[in-house]
Amino acid sequence: MSEQAESIKKVSLIVSKGSLVDVYPALVLGNGARMEGIEAAIFFTFFGLGALIKKTQNKLKVATVGNPALNMALPMLKMPITTPFPTLMGAIPGVSNFATWMMKNEMEDLDIPTIPEFIEMFTDAGGEVYACKLGMDMFKLSMDDLDDRVSGVLTVGEFYEKSAGASIIFT
């Protein structure tokens, strides 16, 4: 007897880290959900809030220290993906900026939207973007600091209430 898989109808994504490679997965997954007709919301908390702050959302960096998968980017430099990237190299001044520049150039070549453009696409498609109240209070932020597309500021309890029935994905 075969069972038919239950389709996903609603997702809630949580973004708690603020590097370039931590924010994009949620934006890709959220936009993908909306394109599939799945209800979607993204909740930005702690350092993930940097993606919503008008002054910082275009300045996110690639973390090079403690990133064991940085070798994934080495083919962009015509090096084998199997070449290890020593963590110590990530601490050298300018390495994070270079990695960020390289990733942003590759993303531009692939016509991948910037963070503000992705947020606009997501909300235009019916997705909702929320900031965490605790994070907002900790970092002394107000709605005026945030991208105009942010739907609101929620407590964790309010986020769970809005997420009732959703698959929750932590990126």
Q: Tens of pLDDT along 146-166?
A: 999 999 999 999 999 999 999
What pLDDT score was predicted for residue 5?
64
What pLDDT score was predicted for residue 149?
97
Q: Which CATH code for domain 12-58+114-161?
A: 3.40.1260.10
What pLDDT score was predicted for residue 90?
80
Q: Which of 14, 48, 7 has the alpha carbon at shortest distance from 29?
A: 14
Is the predicted pLDDT of residue 82 greater than 60, yes or no?
yes
Exposure on the CB side of residue 28, measured as CA atoms within 13 A: 9
pTM, two decimal places: 0.88
What pLDDT score was predicted for residue 1?
47
> DSSP per residue over 21-46, as a string?
HHHHHHHHHHHHHHHTT-EEEEEE-G
- Average the pLDDT over 127-134 and give the result: 98
End-to-end CA distance of the chain: 35
What pLDDT score was predicted for residue 158?
97
Question: Could you give the residue range(s) of every CATH 3.40.1260.10 domain in the chain?
Answer: 12-58+114-161
What pLDDT score was predicted for residue 34?
97
